[in-house]
Amino acid sequence: MAMVVRRTARSVRQSVPRGLEYRLKILWRYTRNMPNGADASATAAKESGRYVEELRQNGFVVIPDLIDPDKVTAMAAAWKNELSHRDRLIPLLKLTHGDNAPSELLEAGYDVNKADVLLKDPMTVFSGYAEFALNDTVLRIVNSYFGRCCALYDCIVWRNPVNDLAPLGSFLWHRDPEGPFLVKSFLYMNDVDEEAAHFVYARGSHTMKFQALKTKHRLTNEEMERIVPRDQWVRLLGKAGTLILADTSGFHKGEKPRSKERNMVQGVYTLVPPEKPVAVNQQWLGDLTPAQTKALRFVQPF
């Protein structure tokens, strides 16, 4: 019986046009976030208005000099140190294939010189990651973009070494399912040029025109160019310390030409509680700004 109900619910849901589903989600998230209405938007508009504008217009913005270079160096050093502690790493393969991945593949997934790896619970490992994910200027830009106060949904530290593995998962075009109201920050911890894995965004694909389209979850370049022409695909490159903010409910992917490694920290900001609350070491949090207090509303104390 339960299965019949579930199947019926799924088929009703699948028959709802994506544009309508998306609008309903927006409405639902607005109403659920009434108490988090963004008075913060006014303050962000003064200081960082042009970043908010660019984010609105293109779906992404690059900010080369917001994060203190010494802090970037400290984050990179902490990551280098963690790479030798296997028990604190998660192979990306485990996330894309789950525990069903063949064990020899998973084993190879821990080889930090060959496979993509992530750090477990970064905001309990090094204070710099928590500080980055809670950067007040970034939060106020995101608040202004959403028109609501955002919440920190995740903080991710990862490394893409040199390899020639076929593109999988986030290396194919996709829209992140946590949207609408989704912004990710990407901080490159080393210089990233076209020879390293890098972030690529389909300019303008965060708007309702594109959001209304029903597509497969992962798309090849050929499938993508039928939706957004190649001349609107933007490669986001930059020196260590380059910060990118992107609305990842628009189409994006990682690009794979790899003769150089990439190390990156990400903050993820939304209006919805994560399935698994992200952990942060509370002892590292000093006096919090209003935007930071709101951003911590779904976070698990550690």
Single out the residue of 252, 171, 180, 170 nearest to residue 18, CA to CA: 180
| Closest chain position to ligand AKG (CB) | 254
Residue 26 CA from chain centroid, whole number? 19
Smallest distance from ligand AKG to CB 252, Å = 5
What are the C-alpha distances in Å from 136 to residues 111, 171, 180, 184, 246? 35, 30, 22, 15, 17
Q: Which is nearer to ligand AKG, 13 or 217 (CB)?
A: 217
Smallest distance from ligand AKG to CB 9, Å = 28
Candidate residues 129, 199, 251, 269; the one interacting with ligand AKG per rule CB under 6 A: 199
Smallest distance from ligand AKG to CB 170, Å = 4
Single out the residue of 31, 36, 30 nearest to residue 290, CA to CA: 36
Single out the residue of 129, 134, 127 nearest to residue 288, CA to CA: 134
What is the enclosing helix (H) or strand (E) of 132? helix 127-133
Candidate residues 48, 248, 249, 292; the one interacting with ligand AKG per rule CB under 6 A: 248
Q: Which stretch binds ligand AKG (CB under 6 A): 56-64, 129-137, 217-225, 246-254?
A: 246-254
176 near ligand AKG, judged by CB under 6 A = yes
Taking each helix axis from N to C end, the angle separating 40-58 and 136-146, rounded to the nearest 10 degrees, works out to: 70
Smallest distance from ligand AKG to CB 97, Å = 17
Smallest distance from ligand AKG to CB 214, Å = 20
252 near ligand AKG, judged by CB under 6 A = yes
CB 166 within 8 A of CB 258: no
The CB-side HSE value for 114 (13 A sphere, CA atoms) comes to 10
Q: Which is nearer to ligand AKG, 148 or 184 (CB)?
A: 184
Residues at the interface with ligand AKG (CB under 6 A): 170, 176, 184, 197, 199, 248, 252-254
